[in-house]
Amino acid sequence: MELREDRRRVVVTGCGVVSPVGNTTADFWAALLAGRSGLGPVTRFDASDLPVRIGGEVTDFDTTGYLTPQEARRSDSFTQYAVVAAAQALRAAGLEPPAGIDPYRFAAVIGSGYGAAHAIQQQYDVLKEKGPRRVSPYHSVLTAIDHPASLLSIKYGINGPSCAVSAACATGAVAIGEAAEMIRSGRADIALAGGADDSLTATDLAGTANAQALSRRNEDPEGASRPFDRDRAGFVMAVGAGVLTLEEAGHAERRGAPILAEVAGYAATTDAHHVTALDPTGAGAIRAVRGALADAGRAPEEVGQVSAHGTGTVQNDRIEAAILREVLGPDQLPRTPITAVKSMTGHMLGASGAVEAIAAVLSLRDRKIPPIRNCDHPEEPDLDLVVKGARDWDGDVVLSNSFGFGGHNAVLVLTRYTG
């Protein structure tokens, strides 16, 4: 299969990350390659009476130099994470501040699965304790799911399309895919794209634990996220943001930008099956994987690596393995290395698809695959799981899967850019 010649190509020129394993792209990547976990006991509130008391928190986070004190006060933590990650992505692309680009050809698509969980809770507490006159007049703005995109447009003069998308755990991948489509179609030349979430709250921990989705390995948080391991028992909730600078390839080349990878394919489907569980047949996800490969003009046998959704829940990992079996086939599957970075970062919800896409970009850049932590007893013997440290790799195509509550499936194909 060959890439269609009749469309604009989209490349990645910068990445930014705020995560439990590091608040810069360099720190994030170094932690992944070292197999270092960012998971631990919840410290931001008293979780002693909850059935799950572990998570992936962002530590040592500082908005100085990224947000003014007033902007920080008027922003939920998920917005703060997104703005810092976006600033990193622009700086890496040589665009902070943006100069020499048409602001009306500049877009922003920053998604979130759960939005301003902390700000909503805080303002509800103000209403209860101090009355309606003390509720912030900025409440409707700072709790809006589009607040990151809106604030970024103001800070960086983004006059092209800006919006939020929300597709649960597939949000980050959808944001990247839809932003890439804006560039492909000619509506933009450059875009900030990614996702952010911070719903590590007592309410969310309790509710998701009651849904039997979370690991309860409270005494061993670093060993709690175990994708594809026989002893896995749920995911670990985490927070953070991942944002990429996307550009039309010619636009990036003309300004001498560093080109890290190409967003070659994207597809999204919906299971229409259940509010939390994947369709056990995997039909929608299979169609998304095949659609993304077709969009990229790539055959299954060209896939050199899979960045798995890999949540560490019994059902999701088993179904994802079956999906890969169906798409890649018995000959290609054992030759295709698979990683799952949630084993170290935890599940960053709406940010996860973007953060995992960034890991794929860095894997293409540095020719290394980060390992799956805690996969001590792999359940699927026909999968080539990267489990004993980072692996050297010389492939050119990464398949990045994201599957979310509500049946959202989004798949990206990221490739080495050859001009």
Catalytic residue of the set 139, 251, 347, 408? 347
User: CB under 8 Å to 165, separation ≥6 — which residues?
Assistant: 109, 111, 171, 174, 175, 178
Asked if 82 contacts 58 with a C-beta cutoff of 8 angstroms, the reply is no
> How many angstroms separate the CA atoms of 298 and 288, rounded?
14
Give bridge partners of residue 347 from the DSSP assignment. Answer: 237
Q: What sign for the dihedral angle of Cα 109, 168, 351, 334?
A: negative
309: annotated active-site residue = yes
Catalytic residue of the set 118, 147, 251, 309? 309
Residue 97, amino acid: P
Give bridge partners of residue 190 from the DSSP assignment. Answer: 106, 247
Q: Tell me 349's DSSP state.
A: G
Among 299, 307, 266, which residue's Cα sits nearest to residue 9?
Answer: 266
> How many angstroms separate the CA atoms of 374 and 211, rounded?
23
Catalytic residue of the set 15, 163, 169, 375? 169
* Crossing angle between the packed helical segments 147-156 and 77-92, to the nearest 10 degrees: 40
User: Any idea which residue has 């810092």 for tokens?
Assistant: 84
Phi, psi values for residue 268, rounded to 5°? -140, 140
User: Any idea which residue has 């270092």 for tokens?
Assistant: 36
Asked if 189 contacts 250 with a C-beta cutoff of 8 angstroms, the reply is no
377: annotated active-site residue = no
Among 171, 191, 179, 215, which residue's Cα sits nearest to residue 78?
Answer: 171
CA 307 to chain centre: 11
From the number of C-beta atoms within 10 Å of its C-beta (0-12, 13-18, 19+), residue 402 rates as: buried
274: annotated active-site residue = no
Question: Which residues carry out catalysis?
Answer: 169, 309, 347
